[in-house]
């Protein structure tokens, strides 16, 4: 009796299992499509990504496999495929980055701002943290390129872009607060 009690439910056959790929596909294709669609928000990408998930799974799945394990594996594979999709979607090509660095730095403007605008700009800059103020002054008042700003601040060009972006956001926020 002790030997019979130690047999697992899988061995006893009471756990639902998949024995062939067609069963896996038929039972999970719609659910996988819906899972992916909820994350990407458009049908063409969802169709492609769901197919990619199923193809990845097809290559590695061994039969017989418990239904619960197969579905967990499908979800894990879907998360990986989605991560790769978003990585591809948001990756900025290095060529574009290099081309942006090669663009001429903006020339100092020849127009004379009104005294009120100049005073307001100085007040906004004065309220920014030192690093943000320096980045904006170098870029827009002295016409430095991103690479030159990075050298001046002692950071990478990518980090210099981040600092500049955050500085602009903070300046806009401070400028809104200064509005009468």
Intervals of CATH 1.10.1740 along the chain = 7-90
Instruction: Please tell me the total number of residues recorded for the chain in this structure.
Output: 180
pLDDT beyond 60 at 109: no
Q: What is the pLDDT of residue 106?
A: 57
Q: What is the pLDDT of residue 113?
A: 61
State pLDDT tens for residues 56-88. Answer: 998 888 989 999 999 999 999 999 999 999 888
User: 66: part of which helix (H) or strand (E)?
Assistant: strand 65-66
State pLDDT tens for residues 1-28. Answer: 443 333 344 455 588 999 999 999 999 9
For residue 54, give the nearest of 18, 25, 83 by alpha carbon: 25
pTM attached to this predicted model: 0.46
Which has more pLDDT, 115 or 66? 66
Q: What is the pLDDT of residue 125?
A: 86
Kindly report the backbone phi and psi dihedral angles of residue 17, in degrees, each rounded to the nearest multiple of 5, phi listed first: -130, 155
Longest CA–CA separation in the chain, Å: 96
Fold of 98-178: Arc Repressor Mutant, subunit A (1.10.10)
pLDDT beyond 80 at 50: yes
- Does the domain made of 7-90 have the CATH classification 1.10.1740? yes
Intervals of CATH 1.10.10.10 along the chain = 98-178
Percent of the chain with pLDDT over 90: 34
Q: What is the pLDDT of residue 32?
A: 93
pLDDT beyond 80 at 117: no
Token reading at 85: 């999709």
pLDDT band (50, 70, 90) for residue 180: low
* Average per-residue pLDDT for the chain: 81
CA angle, 137 then 140 then 142, to 5°: 70
Token reading at 129: 């943290």
Q: What is the DSSP string of 93-110?
A: PHHHHHHHHHSPPPPPP-
Alpha-carbon gap, residue 109 to 124, rounded angstroms: 19
State pLDDT tens for residues 123-137. Answer: 888 888 999 999 988
For tokens 């899972």, what's the residue?
A: 35
Token reading at 73: 């594996």
> How many Å separate Cα 167 from the centre of its chain?
21
């Amino acid at each position: 009796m002790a030997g019979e009690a130690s047999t697992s439910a899988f061995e006893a056959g009471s756990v639902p299992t998949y024995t062939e790929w067609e069963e896996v596909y038929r039972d999970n294709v719609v659910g996988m499509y819906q899972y992916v669609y909820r994350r990407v928000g458009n049908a063409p990408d969802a169709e492609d990504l769901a197919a990619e998930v199923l193809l990845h799974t097809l290559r590695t799945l061994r039969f017989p496999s418990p239904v619960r394990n197969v579905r967990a594996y499908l979800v894990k594979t879907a998360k990986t495929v989605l991560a790769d999709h978003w990585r591809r979607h948001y990756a900025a090509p290095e060529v574009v980055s290099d081309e942006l660095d090669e663009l001429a730095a903006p020339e100092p403007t020849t127009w004379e701002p009104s005294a009120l605008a100049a005073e307001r700009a100085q007040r906004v800059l004065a309220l920014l943290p030192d690093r943000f103020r320096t980045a904006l002054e170098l870029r827009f008042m002295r016409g430095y390129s991103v690479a030159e700003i990075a050298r001046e601040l002692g950071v990478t060009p990518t980090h210099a872009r981040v600092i500049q972006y955050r500085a602009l956001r903070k300046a806009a926020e401070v400028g809104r607060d200064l509005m009468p």
